Amino acid sequence: MQSLLKEQTAEKHRIAERKPFNMRMFKGELNQQAYLHYLEQQLAIFSALEQYPLPHSSLNRTPSILQDIHELEANGAVKKGELPATTTYKNYLNSLTASERLPHVYLHYLAIAYGGQIMKTKVPSKGHFYDFNNFEACIVSIRQIQKDSWVNEVNKGYDAIIDIFDALEATLLETTKIIEHA
Ligand code: HEM
């Protein structure tokens, strides 16, 4: 049966999923530079979430994101830094206690676990980000703690990721314009 949490966050999931930057990534259209910029934002979010122990130790993403970032840098892609929208969300996460962060843990780790297995085949990197040891146990550890009362907080997280996708798209379009005028 579908949880109330999934049902009442489904609209924001649909909006996030269909954001142009996410669609480009899902269609395999991002170059290494644009994907590196995306990973920089993910690193900021996951490092904030990983300041406290997670429901399962194999959920930890920071080392795998760093591995992918180093791979892209070794290929010549250059870091563009954390976007203001990401800093705003990171600061918000850092203002929450460990238990108040759990709705955001649900959001970001299930996003990578579910969408990630296809995403791994589409991104211009080896995609260590999407590789989980103990995959089933990781999912179960989140499923066991998720609560329907998290709706508002999860929707806040979706709003943040939607803003970040918009900012990544704006940077991408700006970069394309500069290249076209060069
Ligand atoms: C290309 C983009 C995406 C695709 C194709 C996608 C697809 C899916 C699918 C098929 C499920 C259902 C899995 C199942 O119930 O067995 C799912 C669940 C989920 N997705 Fe996404 N997703 C995408 C992007 C995102 C994004 C950007 C986020 C948030 C950062 C997100 C967060 C979640 C969460 C939290 C769930 C679990 C919902 C629940 O069952 O409680 N997804 N996704």
Per-residue pLDDT of the chain in tens (182 residues, 90 and over written 9): 689 999 999 999 999 999 999 999 999 999 999 999 999 999 999 999 999 999 999 999 999 999 999 999 999 999 999 999 999 999 999 999 999 999 999 999 999 999 888 999 999 999 999 999 999 999 999 999 999 999 999 999 999 999 999 999 999 999 887 777 76
Check pocket membership of 168 for ligand 1, CB cut-off 6 A: no
The pair phi, psi for residue 112, each rounded to 5°, is: -75, -40
Check pocket membership of 111 for ligand 1, CB cut-off 6 A: yes
- Number of folded domains that form the chain: 1
178 lies in a domain?
Answer: no
The model carries a pTM of 0.96
Which residue range is the domain that position 50 belongs to?
4-173
pLDDT (0 to 100) of residue 112: 96
15: CATH:
1.20.910.10
- Whole-number Å distance between alpha carbons of 2 and 133: 26
Check pocket membership of 16 for ligand 1, CB cut-off 6 A: yes
Q: Which residue has the tokens 């994101």?
A: 65
pLDDT (0 to 100) of residue 180: 76
pLDDT (0 to 100) of residue 176: 80
Q: In Å, how far are 3, 7, 143 from 84, measured between CA atoms?
A: 33, 30, 31
pLDDT (0 to 100) of residue 182: 66
Check pocket membership of 163 for ligand 1, CB cut-off 6 A: no
Q: Whose CA is nearest to atom 5 of ligand 1?
A: 115
Distance, C-alpha 48 to centroid of its chain = 12
- In single-letter form, the type of residue at position 177 comes to K
Backbone φ/ψ region at 150: left (φ over 0), alpha (ψ -120 to 50), beta: alpha
Taking the centre of ligand 1 as the mean of its atom positions, its distance from the CA of residue 92, in whole angstroms, is 22
pLDDT (0 to 100) of residue 28: 97
Q: Which two tokens stand for residue 78?
A: 């250059």
Q: Whose CA is nearest to atom 13 of ligand 1?
A: 114
Q: Whose CA is nearest to atom 14 of ligand 1?
A: 114
